């Protein structure tokens, strides 16, 4: 009689049928079915909800017949077989060996890693390793009644899946898009979805530029073992450009190395061998240190831009060792610089730039001891070398052509807070530094110069917190800070602090120079007021204003910095932030007489369906910052979902002072569960004599579902 979902768990190793099903003593199979019948000592018949588990594989079928004498299983469909890696096989009927490693399945389909589907008339399994499919169709696209034709598919007479090597081999492969044949490939090998690295071709990219014409990049990836690989990328274009790019990567137990380079010939610089060489790496050193390095060499100023590698025009190569701990930071760095920047009068001179720079920094935070609070000590050395031997002071910024400089600095700082009376926060802070400079090849500053500098401050904050009837919280905080910083009377050239920013982040700082060569001097009072509103709905709004009042003008700052004169410009800042991903910030420097001296506005929006980042900046001309004219620029970078699978991109930088577009980019991407197509159009505008204006068009197509880590997009869906 039929049993009502009888669970018959057979430890087959204890039955006469054990020999073919259990290769080792610990190998056991379990069978579950509605009805299980054993006839004699050689036949087993199971029907109704059959489930067989063996060596991580789960087989489900409507019926199962096991013949001990023939050592085979006959299965009635629908049949599913799932292995330990999550691969799935379905079929209507099957004849398999007892250990499920050999056999034939008809009207079958295999699903690899829940991504790649291969349907076939028959599936042969052999050696527990190979799966052979005949008259097959492979695709990772979703197929259903309302969308019976996959977006792309590979049809083949035969497909062999090697489970050990995780490779798919296609015989007589035909690639189709929306059912239309587009390519025939007699032999094709592809990695299965579970394999991240395999020797073979990567996705090609079609690139069209106004200088090089239309060309194709076809990268070929070569695995050189589990920790090394090489990518070879030939590039040919219609304007007779020929290029070969190589990228070598290797992983070690303690770090990684990547070396890349290319050699090219084209009509842009006829008869010249062009190219670049780059290297980078990072290694873990003993005692928590990290060693990193990077380097780049290029044949000519326009090569990186012409071949879409980089927009950099000042190349830095460096080696650095660092360690960061809770209260300590150590860094040692050696850098080499080379400029390929076009100034309009030719390439910037490398002989007068600091081409070799060395830095060492040790920074330690610790308790203030008997003084309380928190203290810190910073020891730093710096040296830079110029190739020029000319000691004459010829530059407008006071830098001699051949000046070489070395500096050793020691700085101590301390800070302590108190709560006073009705919620006032009082702070006392101070810092002192000692510097020794050695300057060579400079007619003005030649020799050894020492400097002592100190600053002390007392600060008072009074935060007021309250709420209104609508449930919003408000925080108002007035701040006043008194700073004493006597002049050190040292005449030292300023090379690392030429650009000065005045914002709410350094309004109450003891020094606003970005480097160490210049120290802010003079007695002053820094005042500020901020107000922040926190709404119950999750958004917030903040405003801040501040100013610096000095007892006398020390003449250290330029007009564009907003800090010149006895009284600084007004610093005005605001910010609004919404939980939906929208935020906006603004910052202005306003002078009582001349009005606006600097303005910066920024808007950011980040949502699932669209994103936007835009900024506007206006800065007045300043010879001290090597800016001969006013700067006014508008930048835009945005994306927008144009449907379920389409995304549009746009970005650009517009020079409002020159009334021209510096750069513009457009992009369109299609991505679903099985296909990614990326189209890009960019235009670079320039007045450089070495880098010409160029237009680039790029196209790339990725068939998703094979090996790799490319992210799939939303499925097209099968909803009616």
pLDDT reported for residue 691: 61
For 95-152, how does the pLDDT look when each residue is reduced to its tens digit (9 = 90+)? 888 777 788 888 888 888 777 888 999 988 888 788 899 999 999 888 776 777 888 8
Check pLDDT > 50 for residue 16: no
Q: What percent of the chain has pLDDT over 70?
A: 93
Q: Is the pLDDT of residue 290 over 70?
A: yes
pLDDT of residue 399: 65
Pairwise pLDDT comparison (112 vs 219), residue with the higher score: 219
What band does 685 get if pLDDT is binned at 50, 70 and 90? Answer: confident
460 close to 429: Cβ distance less than 8 angstroms: no
Please check the confidence at residue 324 and state whether its pLDDT lies above 90.
Answer: yes
652-675: string of b/e by CB count within 10 Å (b at 16+)? bbbeeeeeeeebbbebebbbbbbb
DSSP assignment of 652-706, as one string? EEEETTTTEEEEEEEEEEEE-SSEEEEEEEEEE----SSS--EEEEEEEEEEBTB
HEC profile of 235-291: EEECCCCEEEEEEEEEECCCEEEEEEEEEEECCCCCCCCEEEEEEEEEEECHHHCEE
Higher-confidence position of 706 and 572: 572
Strand partners, 111: 88, 117
User: Is the pLDDT confidence value at 26 over 60?
Assistant: no
Contact present, 59 and 66 (Cβ < 8 Å): no
| Burial of 329 (C-beta count, 10 Å sphere; 0-12/13-18/19+) | middle
Work out the average pLDDT over 710-720: 68
Q: What pLDDT does residue 3 have? A: 34
Per-residue confidence (pLDDT) for residue 27, from 0 to 100: 60
The pTM of this model reads 0.80
Pick the CATH number of 1-100 from 3.40.50.12780, 2.40.110.10, 2.60.450.10, 3.30.930.10: 2.60.450.10
CA pair distance 136, 173, nearest whole angstrom: 10
Mean pLDDT throughout 368-395? 86
pLDDT greater than 60 at residue 11: no
Q: Return the pLDDT at 4.
A: 33
Using CA atoms in the order 341, 344, 346, 347, what is the torsion angle rounded to 10 degrees?
Answer: -10
Average the pLDDT over 473-485 and give the result: 96
Share of the chain above pLDDT 90, in %: 48
Selected residue with higher pLDDT from 707 and 15: 707
Structure tokens at 407: 């500096």
Secondary structure (3-state) at 475? strand
Residue 344 has pLDDT above 80, yes or no: no
CA distance to 335, 369, 570, per residue, from 298 (Å): 17, 53, 46
Q: Which contacts qualify for 463-470: CB closer than 8 Å, 24 or more apart?
A: 463/423, 463/425, 470/536
Of 78-92, 202-216, 566-580, 699-713, where does mean pLDDT reach its minimum?
Answer: 699-713
Question: CATH 2.60.450.10 in the chain, residues?
Answer: 1-100
* pLDDT at residue 2 is higher than 70: no
Flag whether pLDDT at 630 surpasses 90.
no
> Looking at per-residue confidence, does 450 or 661 come out higher?
450
**DSSP secondary structure string, 208-237?**
EETTTEEEEE--EEEE-STTEEEEEEEEEE
Distance of CA 339 to the CA centre of its chain: 26
Q: Is the pLDDT of residue 383 over 70?
A: yes
**Confidence grade of residue 523 (pLDDT, cut at 50, 70, 90):** very high
Q: How far is CA 624 from the centre of its chain?
A: 35
What does the pLDDT read at residue 690?
Answer: 55
Q: Which is more confident, 170 or 683?
A: 170
> Which pLDDT score is estimated for 484?
96
Rounded-to-integer distance, Cα 304 and Cα 308, Å: 6
pLDDT in tens, 401-445: 889 999 999 999 999 999 998 899 999 999 999 999 999 988 888
Position 19 confidence tier, pLDDT thresholds 50, 70, 90? very low
Residue 708, pLDDT score = 61
Q: What is the pLDDT of residue 525?
A: 97
Please report the pLDDT score of residue 348 as a whole number.
84
Predicted pLDDT of residue 7: 35
Q: What angle do CA 269, 273, 274 make, to 5 degrees?
A: 75
How confident is the prediction for the chain on average, in pLDDT? 87
Q: What is the pLDDT averaged over residues 457-464? A: 96
- Segment 623-630 shows an average pLDDT of 81
| pLDDT, mean of residues 549-570 | 90
Instruction: Provide long-range contacts, Cβ within 8 A and 24+ apart, for 165-170.
Output: 166/191, 166/192, 166/194, 166/195, 166/198, 166/707, 167/191, 167/192, 167/195, 167/198, 168/116, 168/118, 168/138, 168/192, 168/706, 170/138
pLDDT at 449 over 50: yes
pLDDT at 39: 84
Least confident of 365-374, 615-624, 709-718: 709-718
């Amino acid at each position: 009689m039929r049993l009502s979902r009888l669970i018959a768990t057979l430890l087959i190793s204890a039955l006469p049928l054990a020999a073919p099903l259990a290769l080792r003593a610990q190998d056991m199979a379990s069978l579950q079915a509605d009805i299980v019948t054993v006839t004699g000592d050689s036949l087993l018949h199971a029907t109704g909800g059959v489930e067989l588990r063996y060596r991580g594989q789960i087989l489900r079928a409507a019926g199962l017949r096991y013949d001990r004498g023939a050592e085979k299983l006959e299965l009635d469909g629908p049949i599913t077989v799932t292995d330990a890696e999550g691969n799935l096989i379905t079929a209507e009927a099957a004849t398999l060996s007892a250990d499920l490693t050999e056999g034939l399945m008809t009207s079958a389909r295999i699903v690899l890693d829940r991504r790649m589907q291969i349907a076939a008339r028959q599936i042969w399994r052999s050696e527990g390793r190979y799966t052979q499919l005949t008259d097959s169709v492979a695709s990772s696209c979703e197929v259903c009644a309302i969308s019976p034709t996959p977006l792309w598919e590979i049809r083949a007479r035969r497909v062999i899946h090697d489970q050990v090597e995780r490779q798919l081999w296609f015989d007589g492969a035909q690639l189709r898009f929306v059912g239309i044949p587009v390519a025939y490939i007699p032999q094709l090998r592809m990695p299965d979805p579970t394999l991240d690295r395999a020797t073979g071709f990567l996705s090609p990219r079609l690139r069209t530029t106004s200088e090089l014409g239309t060309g194709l990049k076809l990268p070929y990836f070569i695995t050189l073992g589990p920790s090394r690989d090489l990518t070879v990328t030939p590039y040919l274009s219609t304007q007779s450009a020929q290029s070969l790019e190589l990228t070598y990567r290797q992983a070690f137990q303690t770090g990684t190395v990547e070396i890349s380079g290319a050699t090219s010939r084209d009509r842009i610089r006829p008869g010249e061998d062009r190219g670049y060489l780059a290297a980078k790496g990072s290694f873990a050193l003993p005692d928590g240190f990290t060693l990193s390095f990077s380097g780049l060499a290029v044949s000519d100023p326009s090569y990186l831009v012409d071949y879409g590698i980089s927009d950099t025009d000042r190349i830095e190569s460096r080696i650095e060792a660092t360690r960061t701990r809770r209260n300590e930071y150590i860094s040692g760095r050696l850098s080499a610089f080379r400029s390929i920047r076009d100034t309009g009068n030719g390439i910037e001179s490398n002989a007068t730039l600091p081409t070799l720079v060395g830095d060492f920094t040790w920074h330690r935070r610790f308790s203030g001891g008997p003084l309380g609070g928190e203290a810190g000590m910073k020891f730093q050395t710096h040296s830079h070398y110029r190739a020029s031997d000319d000691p004459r002071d010829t530059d407008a910024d006071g830098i001699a052509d051949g000046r070489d400089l070395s500096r050793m600095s020691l700085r101590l700082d301390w800070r302590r807070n108190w709560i006073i009376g009705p919620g006032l926060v009082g702070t006392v802070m101070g810092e002192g530094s000692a510097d020794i400079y050695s300057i060579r090849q400079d007619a003005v500053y030649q020799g050894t110069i020492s400097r002592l500098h100190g600053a002390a401050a007392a600060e008072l904050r009074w935060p007021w917190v309250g709420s209104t009837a609508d449930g919003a919280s408000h925080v108002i905080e007035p701040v006043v800070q008194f700073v004493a910083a006597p002049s050190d009377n040292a005449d030292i050239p300023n090379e690392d602090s030429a650009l000065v920013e005045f914002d709410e982040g350094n309004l109450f700082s003891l020094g606003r120079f970005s480097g160490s060569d210049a120290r802010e001097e003079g007695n002053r009072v820094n005042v500020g007021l901020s107000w922040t509103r926190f709404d119950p709905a999750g958004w917030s709004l903040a405003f801040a204003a501040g100013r610096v009042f000095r007892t006398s003008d020390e003449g250290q700052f330029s007009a564009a910095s907003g800090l010149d004169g006895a009284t600084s410009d007004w610093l005005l800042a605001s910010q609004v932030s919404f939980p939906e991903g929208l935020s906006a910030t603004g910052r202005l420097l306003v002078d009582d007489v001349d009005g606006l001296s600097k303005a910066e506005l920024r808007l950011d929006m980040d949502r699932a369906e669209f994103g936007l980042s835009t900024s506007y900046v206006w800065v007045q001309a300043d010879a001290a910052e090597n800016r001969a004219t006013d700067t006014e620029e508008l930048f835009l970078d945005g994306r927008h979902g144009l449907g379920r699978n389409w995304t549009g991109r746009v970005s650009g930088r517009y020079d409002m002072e020159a009334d021209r577009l510096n750069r513009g980019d457009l992009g369109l991407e299609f991505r679903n569960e099985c296909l990614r197509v990326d189209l890009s159009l960019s235009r670079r505008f320039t007045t450089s004599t070495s880098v010409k204006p160029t237009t680039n068009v790029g196209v790339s197509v990725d068939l998703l579902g094979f090996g790799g880590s490319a992210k799939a997009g939303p499925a097209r869906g099968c909803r009616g």
